[in-house]
Chain A
């Protein structure tokens, strides 16, 4: 059984009678809660978005916005962090991922959906040679390597532009630079030819020249392999380099989705706008930076109404009541601000 190539139709809950769904990934109304000592706290609230085949979605948000928890939900590792999806649906190529047993996840995580964590050290065993770790990824955990496995490892190192691959396989992670390590982690994530690669802050710890190299690699790999990419970052400039679409998260909510270019030039939601304006790389020297008063609310302390209203320059009374407003469509873009209509008629 384990040697059998996994037949997707065997695992699929309800084989789709119709054609392939247009979206690779469709997230609908997903809420995520984290366990605390005596209760649970909501960290993601009713997230809705899709990733098309070969698409590139960037998720921007500050710490605590829920963006990492959302990526973990997509690879089924929430339980490791004491989290769970409390409602909603995650459809992966037509198949429901919410409530999938751990065994079934193994056919998806690392196989159909690749994942690159923020810290390359966390993704690698510090004492095992790079080659062995990649063999593990290539052979799905069977350490007895076949010549095909070895060949595939060299192919992967080549794919992520690591020079002198034949030497690198016998080196351990600490012998490599941070950028090289991140390339190895990406190689491992690509071992099973995933259709979606999720990267959680892949360049945050890296130097700017190294970061530029990794971002270029991601752009090229997406094109070469025809896969989709979902990249989370707190840095809009990073997302602009890689992604066609950007999704803004604030206090557990998705508050804006749109084409990167459109969002960059005219964001719809005041939070995205404030993020754009507070960017130091777009500021004029000698002028004060635009800031957002206050700090983002912690999970469990979200205000009623729109979660951004206490910091919002254009909040009105209607913003302060009820639930977090849902995303609404504006010519193919989405905003959760109730004032978007009047501001952009």
Chain B
């Protein structure tokens, strides 16, 4: 349906295990100390993501999927195992880490109220990221920020409003523009559409797909919504209690789930039986 070989536009062509992955996660363990003792949130996870590929990670609350996402970005330290991006190990942000390495993986959070400064204006928020990541002087950074915001559908007028007076969908677009300012190789999105109304979520998903198509960015999409994963992901990992119980090309997982938990999840989609 399209002549370009990469990135894939159709989800369901069989995706081979990426030979030259942009992200490689091996035997990853994350533990937290809590009041009630240690929580072993991620228990030995292996994951690869190819350039231009969208990988969906589905699981329910407490499955460890958000912790995994944060660990890939370097927000949470791992106790064991490794995360590499383009062969460079990801270390927690406090440690020594080159600017390029840190910029290579960007994250979009579920809650755009807390991930953006409510009193900042989108133009400032994005220009700051451009300045830091692309080492541009302020003036050029502002121009570049304006372009980025325009490319995600934020008008010049909106980009001068305070982020708190934007709608949830608009704020999430600003988050995407800010993430793109770093010119990342990988975008990790943690439930980016869960708190949005359906019609708004649909246009955001279209935007993410377009960005990926145009820039060939790899995407790790964390969600509890199987409908979104089925639509968006090339490959799916099903996560339960800190482990992947099943993974494979999206269509195979949905048409022929092997693990009981995957079957339960798919059967639970409302309207699945109708």
Contact A63 B224 (CB under 8 A): no
Interface contact B206-A212, CB-CB below 8 Å: no
Number of interface residues, chain B, beta carbon within 8 A: 37
Which residues from A are CB-within-8-Å of B200? 62, 295
Inside 8 A of B199's CB, which chain A residues have their CB?
A: 62, 274-275, 278, 291-292
Contact between chains at B271 and A237 (CB < 8 Å):
yes
Say which residue of A62, A207, A237, A280 sits within 8 Å of B270 (CB atoms): A237
Known interface pairs A62-B199, A275-B198; A286-B226 also in contact (CB < 8 Å): no
Q: Is A209 an interface residue (CB 8 A)?
A: yes
Assuming the contacts A238-B270, A286-B9, A295-B200, asked whether A280 and B206 have C-beta atoms less than 8 A apart, the reply is no
Q: Is the interface of B mostly helix, strand, loop or mixed?
A: helix
- A290 within 8 A of partner (CB): yes
Q: How far is the CA of A241 from the CA of B271 in the complex (A)?
A: 6
A208→B60 contact, CB < 8 A: yes
Interface residues of A in 259-312 (CB under 8 A from B): 274-275, 278-281, 283, 285-286, 288-292, 295-296
Question: In the complex, are the beta carbons of A289 and B202 less than 8 A apart?
Answer: yes
Partner of A286, one of B11, B264, B271, B274: B11
Chain A residues within 8 Å of chain B by Cβ, number:
32
Tell me if A235 counts as interface (CB < 8 A to partner B). Answer: yes
- A4 CA to B47 CA in the complex, in Å? 66
Stretch in B93-101, B124-132, B227-235 touching the partner = B227-235
B contact residues around A215 at 8 Å (CB): 270
**Contact check: which of A62, A178, A211, A240 meets B198 at CB < 8 Å?**
A62
CA distance A314 to B67 in the complex (A): 45
A116 to B226, CA, bound (A): 26
Which residues on A sit within 8 Å (CB–CB) of B226?
208, 281
Chain B residues with a Cβ under 8 A of chain A: 1, 9-12, 60-61, 167, 169, 197-203, 205-206, 209, 224-228, 230-232, 250-251, 264-265, 267-271, 274
The 7 A-B pairs of least Cβ separation, nearest first, read A281-B227, A285-B11, A212-B268, A237-B270, A62-B197, A207-B60, A286-B10
